[in-house]
Amino acid sequence: MRRWLPLSFRLLLLGALVVFLFWPYSFEPLLKPLVQQNAPAVYNQGSLLALTVQHLVTVLAATAAATVVAIALAVLVTRPFGAEFLPLSRSLVNIGQTFPPVAVLALAVPVFGFGEKPTLIALFLYGLLPIFENTLTGLTNLPRPVMEAARGMGMTGFQRLLRIELPLALPVILAGIRLSAVISLATATIGSTVAAKTLGEVIIAGLQSNNLAFVVQGGLIVGALAVLIYDMLSALEARISATMQAAHG
């Protein structure tokens, strides 16, 4: 059963998002009923396109950093010399889940100041766990016959890791990255409370001015991005899984 959306729906959602970001005032008639008299229906305190791009850049940077660190830790603890570090690694990657992002922001602002850095730190910590656990699962559940064949061919541990283990575990790793990215995409909105440039600005502006249209705009853009990114990564994960099955089937 397919886990991703039909192509027609994807294109429709992507098209609507692009149109709204480049020509937001074309949606003004739909948003007008959500505002009080004389209140602006379309967010007018900045560029929606610029905020969306910055939001995505922040999420991408945090997810990329979390991916590198989480995979490196998972590889370390699945090697014989690093197995003893598994409890410590689990404790480290659980920090982001133990402390909510708001608490991390509150702790990071006095050290790093207002802006992007506290948000990146919060998203990085929050995104470690799913990637680490999925990578760990992928690397510890590899087909035994394949691993024995690789050893029989005289491959070194590093060669097995790069050529066999990571490629076979890639679909499971991608599932963790997908979850981490979607969580970060939604969580990044709180970065605007510490002056980071994210779509949270639109939502906060709507709450402060009692403008439901602003809140809806910010929420819908984040929601559409989350659906599209989740769908894209799900399709990529399924394609890689099918390729792996065909190669080893």
Q: What is the mean pLDDT of residues 58-86?
A: 93
Of 241 and 170, which is predicted with more confidence? 170
Q: Is the pLDDT of residue 247 over 70?
A: no
Which stretches of the chain are DSSP H helices? 7-22, 28-31, 48-77, 86-93, 95-98, 101-112, 116-140, 144-152, 157-160, 166-187, 200-208, 212-248
48: how many CB neighbours lie within 10 A of its CB?
A: 20
223 Cβ partners below 8 Å, 6+ apart?
A: none
Instruction: Report the pLDDT value the prediction gives residue 235, as an integer from 0 to 100.
Output: 84
Of 36 and 72, which is predicted with more confidence? 72
Q: Which domains does the chain have, with CATH numbers?
A: 50-216+225-248 (1.10.3720.10)
Instruction: Report the pLDDT value the prediction gives residue 249, as an integer from 0 to 100.
Output: 55
36: left (phi over 0), alpha (psi -120 to 50) or beta: beta
Residue burial 208-222, b: 16+ Cβ < 10 Å; e: rest: ebebbbbbbbbbbbb
Q: Is the pLDDT of residue 148 over 90?
A: no
Q: Please name the residue that has the structure tokens 């470690």.
A: 128
Q: What angle do CA 110, 112, 118 make, to 5 degrees?
A: 95
Q: Which of 29, 24, 25 is nearest to 48 (CA)?
A: 24
How much is the mean pLDDT over the chain? 88
Q: What is the CA radius of gyration of the chain?
A: 21
Instruction: Report the pLDDT value the prediction gives residue 1, as an integer from 0 to 100.
Output: 39
